[in-house]
Amino acid sequence: MTTKVETRPTGSIVEYLIALLAEATQPREIELIADHLGEAGDPRAIRPLLARLGDCQVQEDPDVEDAVCRALMSLGVMCSSGNLRFSLRPRRDLPDDVVDTIRDLAATIPWRYFGSPRI
């Protein structure tokens, strides 16, 4: 006897995670969702992750900040020069749509993420 495994398309899982991220209020919940979005590698997660970057839940908990920034690193938007030293990649290294997203959300992204990380 074989067991039929039900699978969902990756897109619907990512959409579900993005919706969960938008509603998440607990730091550990945000951390876990960010980890999963980073693992999924879907560029649709870039905007919601960037939008959460300035939230107090993210900024007040180094583990949550690390999870959100590492998810953005896995999506090619951020880079790191060490433990909790993250920055957005230079404009020239980003697709135009990501640059537009950053421009749209610039007022909510903490300034320390702009510019190159110190090595």
Mind listing the pLDDT tens digit for each residue in 24-40? 999 999 999 999 999 99
Helix (H, G, I), strand (E, B) or coil at 78: strand
State the Cα–Cα distance between residues 70 and 33, nearest whole angstrom. 12
pLDDT grade, residue 2 (50/70/90)?
A: very low
Q: Exposure of 76 by Cβ count < 10 A (0-12 exposed, 13-18 middle, 19+ buried)?
A: middle
State the Cα–Cα distance between residues 115 and 5, nearest whole angstrom. 46
CA-CA-CA-CA dihedral for 24, 49, 8, 95, to nearest 10 = 170
Segment 43-100, tens digit of pLDDT: 999 999 999 999 999 999 999 999 999 999 999 999 998 776 899 999 999 999 999 9
Whether pLDDT at 119 is above 60: no
pLDDT grade, residue 12 (50/70/90)?
A: confident
Whether pLDDT at 7 is above 70: no
Q: Exposure of 20 by Cβ count < 10 A (0-12 exposed, 13-18 middle, 19+ buried)?
A: middle
Q: What is the average pLDDT across 2-19?
A: 68
State the Cα–Cα distance between residues 53 and 49, nearest whole angstrom. 6
The whole-model pTM stands at 0.85
State the Cα–Cα distance between residues 79 and 113, nearest whole angstrom. 10
Helix, strand and coil in the chain, % to nearest 5:
60, 5, 35
